[in-house]
Structure 1
């Protein structure tokens, strides 16, 4: 099927690659079908693109590649709603707020996007963790990522 995207223009997707977010994403509860696209081959960024709304595409990162000490435990409710049977099914992303200049961009570690890649189910999980908030600097002077440029 053809869809229009925010960052990639018109593309053809397979219906099997559509991710279902039964509860939507906070602020976008009616948007329940997305596709995950790499921003580019070399980029650490991905796009969570709404299948129905071409203007809705979230920029994502794998938070573990940017924050080596990032960790959390999913609640039983989250595990059940995502139909997770083992850890290998889980993909974790965090949403970036892109700013100009890019060095001011932040990422939301308090509410990661968790995807069961096998069952094609997704959910934005809100963590109750004192060290995580919605605006962590993506690039800092002390992080290896920030030093790479």
Structure 2
């Protein structure tokens, strides 16, 4: 199947790899099918591309690659909704807000995208009782003494 994308033009995708978001995602409730592809070769960055709307694509990363202490606990209703049977089937992404300069780019750690990779179900989960916010600097700044700020 071919789809038009925001960043890669027209691409051929495997329909079995489409992730289904039965309730859409906040602010985009009608968008229920996304395809996740690498942003570039050898990259920690991915594109979560709407299958239906070429202009709708999110740059996402695994939050665990950038925030070593990041953790989430999924509630039983979310585990049931995504039909999660094994922890190994779960993939988590954080949506980025790209900024200029890039060092000001932030990650939404309060609203991770949680995907059951085995069943291809996804949901943006809002972590209400957590220390996370919607804007965490992706790249830690270094002070003049070389310590993280």
TM over 0.5: yes
Matched, 1:62 2:62: yes
Matched, 1:30 2:26: no
In 2, are the aligned partners of 1:110 and 1:129 still within 8 Å (CA)? no
* Long gaps (5+) in structure 1: 143-149
C-alpha distance in structure 2 between counterparts of 1:77 and 1:8, whole Å: 36
Which residue of the partner structure matches residue 145 of structure 1?
Answer: none
Q: Deviations over 1:63-104 (max 9, x none)?
A: 001001001100001100100001010000000000111111
Q: Matched residue pairs, number?
A: 143
Which residue of the partner structure matches residue 122 of structure 1?
Answer: 122
Which residue of the partner structure matches residue 146 of structure 2?
Answer: none
* Long gaps (5+) in structure 2: 143-149
- Alpha-carbon offset, residue 129 of structure 1: 3.2
- TM-score of the two chains, using structure 2 as the length reference: 0.93
List structure 1 runs of 4+ shifted beyond 6 angstroms. Answer: none
Which residue of the partner structure matches residue 47 of structure 2?
Answer: 47
Backbone CA RMSD of aligned residues: 1.2
Which residue of the partner structure matches residue 138 of structure 1?
Answer: 138
Matched, 1:98 2:98: yes
